[in-house]
Amino acid sequence: MPLSYFFNRLHGSLTGSSAPPQPPKQAPGHIASSLGLGASFAATLGALSSTNLGSSFKLLVLGSLVEVGRRLFKWMIERFGLQYSTTVRFIQGDPAYEWIVLLLTQENVWRRSREFIVSARNSQRKWTVPAAADTNAKANAEFVPTYKQPHLFRWRGYWVEIKRQGGNAGSNPAMAYYVGNHGGEAGSISMTVYTLDMNVLSDLVEDARLRYLDINRPNVVIHLADPQHHFGPGGATWTTVKHKTRRDLNSIILPDGVLDSMLNDAREFLNTENWYIEAGIPHRRGYLLHGPPGAGKTSTIYALAGALNLEIYSLSLASNFVDDGFLQRAASSIPKNGLLLIEDIDCAFPVAREDDEDEDLSGGGADAMSAAMRMMQGGQPQRRSRQSAVTLSGLLNVIDGVGSEEGKLFFATTNYIDRLDAALLRPGRIDRKIEYSLATAPQARALYLRFFPSARFAAFPETQLEELASEFAKSVPEGEFSTAELQGFLQGYKTRPVDAAGGVGEWIEGVKTEKREAERRREERREKARAKRQRAMNGNANANANGNVGAPPGSLAAALGVPNGHQDLEEESGTHTPPLKTNGFTFG
């Protein structure tokens, strides 16, 4: 009855008649009759077919059928696609991202790109593509595809689709350099391989990795965690990659046997993983290279990494964006063939005020020179105060965690070994300590001969070069100049061995005078700072004596809202509050 009622209503509204149509006579037992809608239904259809609305209704039904078909088709395609393909993502900042970008470059996938970033900076030529046959064009500008549009290509007969997603750093590690993404989001490349065979995907990734290793054979790869390209909390850590030509270990001038012993030790460690497992000892090894700036610590690590085929993951604790969380994330994202290098490890330890003053006041000399050199080598800028945001416990956690799953080498450098905590220096964390010193006479001599080898200076009899080298070494006072300083001098005499040996004495005197002058100025500033502190303390004492417990206007304590009598009251009551720490700077 309800259905027949509705059909009756519909018929009425279509025909304009208010009286319901008479149902046709039907044989008793007929199905339409038993449902009670036969007459109304037939009459409604008849009315529909006789009106425009009827055509619309048919169209509606047809459209619905098409839509249902389309959705069904799409659903089947998706199901088929899901089963027939595998999709993976490579996240920027992860080493595998670089492998895949290299593969895309070598497979000429960029050919279908219509969007590039062009730069004249000579930073990374590995992932760029030739803009023209003219090699000059390539030498002077880089063309880096963005891969923003999906690209389809064939790899070993399989169809592969790639697309870059997210991120504001462009398409590859080199791009971050141009875009300058402070605190931005890391991008990713998603790759879909159309096949039922899961092995194809792992073969593809392995192919990309091997190509990457192959292209970098003449280089040592250095991953840097640096502030310019770091992707904020929780983001990727090793975002900048540098490819340096491998340095021959023999070019590092150290006392006899030091380099060989380090190399053998590291080799043995890498080859004895099973021994560590059987002995139940964590498979990790830590080296601390300590000594004055410019003595060759970092150069040694780079050369060792090249000889051992390891990639370097380097960060400096002097960088103000490195805190416990960042350090933990960075250390745990190093792949198996990675070597963790922590520069300036002393920065994790509080510095005595006098030492801190010395550093802040130095403003030049060997420290400043070494900082400048680090920058030139692609290193990281140092903060003015060397106190790091990393805590000792954060650092120890990371060192204890490094290589706990797989054997990893850990290297640390410092100019101030006496500031390091005994907890860090114990075996198991630091297994070997290697001391570097300012240049000795044999080092000065060897350095000279490296600059003027007889093979290149055939016009000079070998004995003459040897004599000049000895003359040079004699003029250099032992333990007063770093190898880096001597190297700087010799660079000015690339083709003039006689002038270099003859001119070094005068240069030494000039530098000594400069250093004395700089030391005198530093001592003056130190004296002024001490006097200022003394005046402030006297002022506080007077104010306290007068019952005024407020901090002197303009003082640090006033700025931080610390009442002046705070320390005195503590001393009286025998309590002690730890030094006030703000933003990683300690005020003790």
Ligand X SMILES: Nc1ncnc2c1ncn2[C@@H]1O[C@H](COP(=O)(O)OP(=O)(O)OP(=O)(O)O)[C@@H](O)[C@H]1O
Q: Which residues bind ligand X (CB under 6 A)?
A: 252-254, 293-299, 370, 373-374, 413, 415, 436, 483-484, 487
Nearer to ligand X, 288 or 484 (CB): 484
Nearer to ligand X, 44 or 298 (CB): 298
Nearer to ligand X, 172 or 316 (CB): 316
**Cα 539 to Cα 353: distance, rounded to the nearest angstrom:** 20
Nearer to ligand X, 94 or 344 (CB): 344
Q: Which of 234, 218, 104, 126 is nearest to 173 (CA)?
A: 126
Coil/strand/helix, residue 139: helix
Q: Which of 490, 486, 445, 491 is nearest to 468 (CA)?
A: 445
- Cβ atoms 5, 39 nearer than 8 A: no
**Cα 37 to Cα 381: distance, rounded to the nearest angstrom:** 87
Nearer to ligand X, 382 or 387 (CB): 382
Q: Which CA distances in Å does 102 have to 34, 96, 98, 189, 212?
A: 75, 10, 6, 12, 7
* Helices assigned H by DSSP within 309-391: 324-332, 353-362, 365-376
Nearer to ligand X, 8 or 314 (CB): 314
Cβ of residue 327: shortest distance to ligand X, in angstroms?
A: 19
- Cβ atoms 167, 188 nearer than 8 A: yes
Cβ of residue 253: shortest distance to ligand X, in angstroms?
A: 4
Cβ of residue 374: shortest distance to ligand X, in angstroms?
A: 6
Cβ of residue 436: shortest distance to ligand X, in angstroms?
A: 6
**Cα 435 to Cα 143: distance, rounded to the nearest angstrom:** 45
Kindly report the backbone phi and psi dihedral angles of residue 356, in degrees, each rounded to the nearest multiple of 5, phi listed first.
Answer: -60, -40
Pairing of strands 188-194, 284-290: unpaired
Cβ of residue 271: shortest distance to ligand X, in angstroms?
A: 27
**Cα 51 to Cα 127: distance, rounded to the nearest angstrom:** 68
Q: Which of 343, 338, 362 is nearest to 297 (CA)?
A: 343
Kindly report the backbone phi and psi dihedral angles of residue 480, in degrees, each rounded to the nearest multiple of 5, phi listed first.
Answer: -115, -20
Cβ of residue 138: shortest distance to ligand X, in angstroms?
A: 28
Q: How far is CA 54 from the centre of its chain?
A: 68
**56: its two tokens:** 């619309």
Q: For residue 499, count other CB atoms closer than 10 A to its CB.
A: 11
Cβ of residue 143: shortest distance to ligand X, in angstroms?
A: 32
Q: What is the DSSP letter of 460?
A: S
**Cα 404 to Cα 429: distance, rounded to the nearest angstrom:** 12
Query: What is the greatest pairwise CA distance in the chain?
Result: 131
**Cα 392 to Cα 398: distance, rounded to the nearest angstrom:** 10
Cβ of residue 509: shortest distance to ligand X, in angstroms?
A: 22
Q: What is the DSSP letter of 486?
A: H
Cβ of residue 113: shortest distance to ligand X, in angstroms?
A: 38
Nearer to ligand X, 105 or 415 (CB): 415
Coil/strand/helix, residue 438: coil
Kindly report the backbone phi and psi dihedral angles of residue 440, in degrees, each rounded to the nearest multiple of 5, phi listed first.
Answer: -90, 170
Cβ of residue 444: shortest distance to ligand X, in angstroms?
A: 11
- Cβ atoms 62, 54 nearer than 8 A: no
Nearer to ligand X, 491 or 542 (CB): 491
Nearer to ligand X, 188 or 413 (CB): 413
Nearer to ligand X, 515 or 581 (CB): 515
Cβ of residue 288: shortest distance to ligand X, in angstroms?
A: 12
Nearer to ligand X, 387 or 415 (CB): 415
Q: How far is CA 368 from the centre of its chain?
A: 25
Nearer to ligand X, 85 or 362 (CB): 362
**Cα 16 to Cα 39: distance, rounded to the nearest angstrom:** 17
Cβ of residue 413: shortest distance to ligand X, in angstroms?
A: 6
